Amino acid sequence: MNSKNLWQVHVPRRVARAVSRLPKSDQDRILEILREFEIDPWAGDIVKIKDEENKWRRRVGNYRLFYSIYSALKLVEVKEIQRRGSKTY
């Protein structure tokens, strides 16, 4: 695939650190999803967050990735990752 067709995925340092603290199997699943974002950030089990202009949620096992999509820039910005719980949403 041509690299011009790929999306840029920005993961802030605090999010990368949070992922690095997870069990290896969960890290691997999340890293795979981030690679998928480079191809199509709308694929998979995603939901637009209500009352937020540009915030999406993708389920990854027991975790939720929250991110924004900037189509004009072909940029996906990961905002946070949370373990699913009663206060995740």
| Structural domain boundaries in the chain | 3-83
Residue 27 Cα distances to 22, 47, 88, angstroms: 6, 21, 19
pLDDT score, position 84:
84
Average pLDDT value for residue range 73-77: 97
Segment (H or E) for 15: helix 13-20
The whole model's pTM is what?
0.86
pLDDT score, position 5:
79
C-alpha span between 53 and 70 (Å, rounded): 11
Return the CATH architecture of domain 3-83.
2-Layer Sandwich (3.30)
